[in-house]
Amino acid sequence: MIAGRALFGSASCANCHGGPQWTRSRINFTPPPAAASIVRAQLIDQLRPVGTFDPAAFNEVRQNVVAGSFSPLGADGFSPASLLSLFAFPQTFFHNGAANSLSAVLDNVAHRSAGTGGVDTLTNAADRQKLVQFLLSIDSRTVPFP
């Protein structure tokens, strides 16, 4: 677990999955939210571009008949999911269930290099497995990354 935790830190996973609830996604306003945070009746402040959004995939953006004609909701990205107690939940990941395991999540180069300026520090499959083992160990007793 120690090696996986170190990899979590060095791969900058905490940029999206850090904090006390293992996610940067927050309700960070007193209702109502600021007008600048709302695009087409949706809050966009917590969206992170993690490289898995594909506006050309019509199953993701049902309103777009012409792929790429505009950014859905005014921004590309997703609100990062919490990693807390992953071991207890069904094993489908990403907004559309495109990854059926944590290994599949980490096989996605765009996702694992999101927030790093494109630097992929998880090219080694053995390192990715160490990270998977750490992710599956995260529970309420695991000290979160700030």
pLDDT digits (tens, 9 = 90+) for 93-145: 876 677 889 999 999 998 888 878 889 999 999 999 999 999 999 999 999 99
Radius of gyration of the chain (CA): 16
Best mean pLDDT range from 41-45, 70-74, 111-115 = 111-115
Element (H, E) at 134: helix 125-137
Q: Which of 94, 19, 92, 11 is nearest to 51 (CA)?
A: 94
How close are the terminal C-alpha atoms of the chain, in Å?
Answer: 18
* Domain regions of the chain by residue span: 2-137
Longest CA span, the chain: 48
SS3 of residue 48 by DSSP? strand
> For a pLDDT cut of 70, what percent of the chain falls above it?
68
Classify residue 53 by burial, with Cβ atoms within 10 Å: 0-12, 13-18, 19+: buried
Q: What is the pLDDT of residues 2-17, one digit of tens each?
A: 999 999 999 999 998 9
CA distance 20 to 142: 10
pTM for the predicted model, two decimal places: 0.70
The CATH label, of 1.10.540, 1.10.760, 1.10.3470, 1.10.890, for the domain at 2-137 is 1.10.760
Q: Are 15 and 115 in contact (CB under 8 A)?
A: yes
Half-sphere exposure of 75 (CA within 13 A, CB side): 18
Residue ranges of E strands in the chain: 38-39, 42-43
For the chain, the residue count is 146
Q: Are 146 and 22 in contact (CB under 8 A)?
A: no
